[in-house]
Each structure stands twice: as structure tokens, then as C-alpha cells.
Structure 1
């Protein structure tokens, strides 16, 4: 389906802001080689180290490699010339909006648990539309618990925020717009997994993941329109198993199986599965040949699914040196030819990533 998205630019004026920061740093262990569990090796978007070199007035952000807590409150004043995202040629509403935004960011790293927590509560007070005053919440939390060191771990994450519901209706990037096209989305995930070193055979990973997506419109001024009608909450269950040969060998191989079931509260469920066997050969110091074969679920025109009914293959090479990594794969899947290309260049001050993936009937690229 194709639809036009109408967005509007709004003038933004921040009149004042107050940040109350506190920084708590845990003493590093001197006699233990403590490492973060596999899922949390670094903080996304955070400053892992070197916070003492930050410019004056910049508060260091907590991360797994730099645990701590930062709290604050931001006060601002917003102005928009199209509060309801009215279409061109129709009357538009202007308004001043007072924004009050307390927040807390924290990170913890211990022998058994590492985690990140980022929460923001935003209150919008509308000068000309006070009946629409609302609260918006954003949460991003994730953590890893070590149950059996070096073997058994439990990942967990929770996300909460506002998302556009209908891409065919007007939508803006700010949660303060009264466009009747936003809903709260909560995403939760628990994922226990087992890691096992098999010696010369390789490394094994066995993972189970259970997730849940829930929608609501609490705290949102919807003007009597319920856009969540017909949108179900969703539960997902997934299993992943893989064995990968040791690195830095002339011949390499890998085997993997994954299966996921997506079950909405109403409507038809979906199931995906894939089994793959891969091999590689180091032909020079910089070049490795690659090949994969496998089977995946085949989706039939009548809406049914044939379990592992579609074979696929791909072949190509990987070339790398100290600054570059280049990978090319060409293959075939049940819906047609597949093509993948990626290039990464890492310099002293700039890292460049380019990727292209073609899987008919859809073609996507990014850089």
C-alpha cells in the first residue's frame, strides 16, 4: 500500500533548561578479569571511557564500561504553526507548548549482572488547547544476568514509547502534535541462552527468546478516535541453534537452525524457519571464499506455509586488510535471485559503511 505522509516544520524555542547531574562510579576490580556478558559489551550511544577529557559543562553519560547515574530536568517552550498537522489549504492551529521533562540514565556492571536504564517523562502543557495536556513516556532498559559463568546467561529488555500507527495519515516527528496518529508501544523480551566451547569442533550457541508487543493510548489526546481498533497485541517465540568452527583456520564451517512463531491476540499467526550449512576457505592472507546452502519455509499463494520447503544457496568471498572489509554474495532463494554487498572502511577519524541487499521482489539499499 502506498500513501502520502504529510509532515510540517515547526519553530522550536527552548527558553530555559536545568540539568541536575549526579555521577556515581564503581571501583574497578584490580585482581579479577571481569568482563561484561556477551549482550552488553558497550553502551549504545554512551561514552565508554575517557570521560575526564570531556569539554567543560558536558556531563559524562553512563555506560557498561563506565557505570553511573545521571538525573536531570529539562524545561522548554515549543512553538508550532500546525498543531494538528492539517493538510495544505485547510485552516491550521498555532500554539505555544510548555515542556517539562525529568529524566534518569544509569548503568551498572557487576560480576553477575550488567544493565542499562534510560527513562524520560515528558509533560506537555498547551496554552491554547489545555484540555489536550498530556504525558509521554520513553523507556529503554536492557540487562544480562550471568547464571552459570561462561555458559548460561539471561538477556532481558524493555522498550516503551510512542509510534506512528498509520503511515497513510499525517504524522510528525514530535510527540506533542495532536495528529490522532500516535499510540504507546511496549516491547518486552526475555532470552536465556547457553554457550559451549566444543574445542576443535567450534563454539555452540543455543538460545530461546520470548517477546511481547502491547499497544495502548493512555495519556494521549485522541479526540475520540481509536486508531488501535484492528491492531492486535503480539507474542513471539523463537529458538536459535548454531555451531561455528574455530576462527583462523584454513577451512571453516558453520551450521545454524532458527525458528520463530508470531502469534497475534487475534488473526492468523505466522511461522518462520531456516536451516543453513556454510563453509569457507582461506585462499590468501586477505581473501576467504564463502558458500551457504540450506532450506527455509516456503510461503504459498493460498496463504499456507510449507515447513522448510524451499532450498536456497549463496556463494561469494570476503576480502579484508587493516582498513577495509569487502564482502560479496550471490545466490538464489524461492522468490528469486539474492545479492548482497557490503564494504567497511575504517580510518583514523572516519568509519564508512556501505551495504546493498537485493531479495526480489523487493530491493533495498542503505549506506
Structure 2
């Protein structure tokens, strides 16, 4: 089985590659890093089947890859590609190759004026949040899809003296899924923001129009205009106000969903280590709340965010990491124990073109002491679908401990718990699934660029639908080389 064919991947690669061509490509050096990973996995439930129907297997994965990077004054490009080959001892008819790609780039086409952002990705994603959802690309289930995304966005920036800055941007992006639906989006945005002449009153005016064409499932339009201002009472505290108007049209609704919006609140930054921004108001879907808080000390980091907004599944798919490149705080991942292909998200919404109101709370905490790093993350998300009136709820937490045993040995232990409920409406309870994962791994650095890993993972999925409950024990050993 070939998932996300190579020609399709190369098609989406064309946008980032064009950046290299138009941005003085040979003026600065490129970094090419080939890699090869070989692993052996034993699982007692390769198909994530319910009790009594389990089937064990040995899985050999061979994954060649390459990373390409370049950063100069006019071009920044990061490309990571892997071809994952999965070979099953007892289910050889399921042998498969999977393309994994994450490419982003920014180029300056006209000095200080015209820029181009581009991105492309190829990955596997769960198409539902209950049932045979999986954490990786090796389990044999029917609840996973190949997903391709790309985005190309030229934009013009203009500084009008010290009075204001302006940006006009166009973006075209697409999502293609092997199991659900494809969609294309065209976005036009225009932003004005206060220049350096304004010290006490900071302001901005924003317009955005997004037209989404869902293949065979109608079209959706998000359009709004907002004006915002922050009045600094002191250097550390300011009052914030936001006002605007929404003019939306959701797929298959046949009517416009519009109305005024407003939020009031404040911004508090008592130091470089602490910040809090919170606003409260109303929008067409009801109460509108935005909170963003962070605090850090020498040993800890804390972050809290909350927001309600209209959304669609394709936006969530764009947010998924193909590789574990950044942590919960947006920092690049450098430790080899966490730099693997990203764990698949088991809490994504059921893939559909329907608009939903997304309410999400995220909390992240990190404590670092000598050779130990403790991470805690908590999330809660509610989704209210606007046409079917069904709702989904996801919530969970993960606790992980990373121990740098010595210069050559790392240990990582994690425990994650989550609950998903989907399909609920006024007439039925819906599907519920509790998901528990224990994961432990050791990484031995043999020499620069070469490491060996061994680990164990246990999954317990408990559902109110018996056929969707399962457990899995998994052992793995891998050798990883960067050339």
C-alpha cells in the first residue's frame, strides 16, 4: 500500500522550492542532513481489536529521510521528509510506504516590501476521535487517512513613516484527504497597525475574507472586520477594546450568519517574565472570551490560553505537527528522546466540512532541575456543530519526566489520559471513549549522529461501544543515524 503518492508530495513541495529559486538561492550555504532509522516492534494487538480478537505481529520499519535547511537575509527554508516503510511478519499483505513531509519557507522577493510564505505537509491523521484511533502509523486500522496540505501566501508590507504599518496578504491553501473530503481556501486580509509615533494608544484595524470550497459539500465564507485599541495607563498595564462585525455563510446553511462583535479587557505585563491579556465580550455565537497568560522563572515555565472561535476541521489539520519539532511552549525540540515523528492526535474533531464553535483551554507547566525536566499539559475542548446541532467534547492531561542520566543516556516516562465524546445531540448520548497511555523509552547516544532506542508502551481504550474498546502492549527497538 502506498499512502500519499510521491508525485503528490512533490507537487506540494513545489511552493517551498520556488522560494529557493526566487531568493538568490546560491548566495548562502545549504544544510543537507540525510538520515536512516530502522526499528523492530512487537505488538500484541496490531489491529487495535477488542478483547478476544487481538492479533499480534512483529513490525519492521525502515525510514530513510532528509532534512534541508537554509537561512539567509532573504530566505528561510526548513524541509523535513521521511519515507516510512512498514513490513509486517504476520500481515505481509498490509506492507506499506508512507510519505511524511513538513516544509516551510519565507522569502523576501522585493527588499522590505514583497514577501512570500509557503508550506507543505504530508502525514497520517485520525479521521475520528473514537474507535480504532491510533498514536502512530503502524497500527492496522480503518480510522486513519493520508492528509496533504499546502499553502502559498504572497504579501506586501508598507511602513508609512512613523504613523502606521500596513500589510496586504493573499493566501491560497488546500487540504486533501484520502478518506474524507478535499477543500481549497482563498484568503484576503488587510491589516493596519499603529507606528512608533504612538506611545500610549496602540491601535489596529483588520479585515479578513476567507472563501472555502469543500469538494462536493458546499462552500463556507468567513468574513469580518475589527478595530482594536490598547490604552496604556502605565508602562505595565493597559485597557483593551475590540469592536467589529462578522458576515459569514456556512456550507449548506443557505443563510448569512452575521452580527456585531465586541470585547473589553486589559493587558498586564509587570515584567519580561510575566504577561496577561484577557478580554470578554459578545459575538454571533454568544459569549466571546480570549485569555493568554504566561509566567517563567529560572526553573519553571507556565502558560495558559483560552479562546472561543468559529472553526472547521481543515484548520485543525493545518495545526498538526508531522514531526515533533516544537514543544508545548513553541521551542524547537533538540533532545533525541522527543525528536521523533509526532504522535498522532487522538483528540481531533471528526473530519467534516461543517462549521463548529470551538472552545479550548490549554495549560502547560514545565519544571527543570539539574538533569530532570517535568512537563504537565492539560486541555479541554468543546465543539458545537452549527448545522447538525451535535457536539463533541475532548479533555485530557499528560505528565512526562525526562531524565538526562548522563552524557550518553536519556530516560523518558510519560502518562497521558484523555476522554472523547462525539455524536451527542438532544436525542442521543453519542460515543464515549477514555484513552490511557503509559510510555517509557531509553535513548543511548552511541556517537554523534547515531543513537539506539528501546521502549515500552501500553494503551487502554475504554468505550461505551464494546467493539471500540481495546488494549495494546508494545515493545520497540530502533537504531537511528544522521549522516
How high is the TM-score relative to the length of structure 2?
Answer: 0.57
Specify the SS of the correspondent of 1:321: strand
Report Cα offsets for 1:179-225 as digits up to 9, x if no partner: 12222111011100011101232110110000111123xxxxxxxxx
Distance in 2, matches of 1:339 and 1:167, equals 26
1:240 positional shift = 0.9
1:66 positional shift = 10
Listed as ranges, the matches of 1:100-119 within 5 Å are 100-119=62-81
**Aligned counterpart in structure 2 of residue 355 of structure 1, from 273, 288, 305:** 305
Is contact 1:242-1:254 (8 Å) kept? yes
Q: Which runs of structure 1 show a deviation greater than 6 angstroms over 4 or more consecutive aligned residues?
A: none
Is contact 1:298-1:334 (8 Å) kept? no
1:157 positional shift = 0.7
Matched residue, 1:243:
192
Distance in 2, matches of 1:146 and 1:331, equals 38
Query: Are 2:38 and 1:75 aligned?
Result: yes
Report Cα offsets for 1:247-287 as digits up to 9, x if no partner: 56111211000010110221210000010011221101210
The count of residues paired between Structure 1 and Structure 2 equals 289
Distance in 1, matches of 2:250 and 2:305, equals 30
CA distance 1:299–1:178, shift in 2 (3 Å): same
1:343 positional shift = 1.2
Alignment RMSD: 2.4
Query: Are 2:109 and 1:147 aligned?
Result: yes
Matched residue, 1:156:
118
Unaligned runs of 5+ in 1: 1-38, 40-64, 217-227
Largest Rg, 1 or 2: 1
**Aligned counterpart in structure 1 of residue 269 of structure 2, from 275, 295, 320:** 320
Distance in 2, matches of 1:355 and 1:249, equals 27
| Higher share in strand | 2
How high is the TM-score relative to the length of structure 1?
Answer: 0.74
Distance in 1, matches of 2:194 and 2:29, equals 33
Matched residue, 1:186:
148
Matched residue, 1:342:
292
Report Cα offsets for 1:281-300 as digits up to 9, x if no partner: 11012101110110012568
**Aligned counterpart in structure 1 of residue 182 of structure 2, from 233, 258, 271:** 233
1:113 positional shift = 2.3
Is contact 1:84-1:177 (8 Å) kept? yes
Distance in 2, matches of 1:301 and 1:265, equals 11
1:302 positional shift = 8.5
CA distance 1:237–1:171, shift in 2 (3 Å): same
Distance in 2, matches of 1:91 and 1:140, equals 36
Distance in 2, matches of 1:333 and 1:255, equals 18
Greater length-normalized contact order (CA 8 Å, ≥ 6 residues apart): 2
Specify the SS of the correspondent of 2:163: coil
Is contact 2:105-2:117 (8 Å) kept? yes
CA distance 1:84–1:301, shift in 2 (3 Å): closer
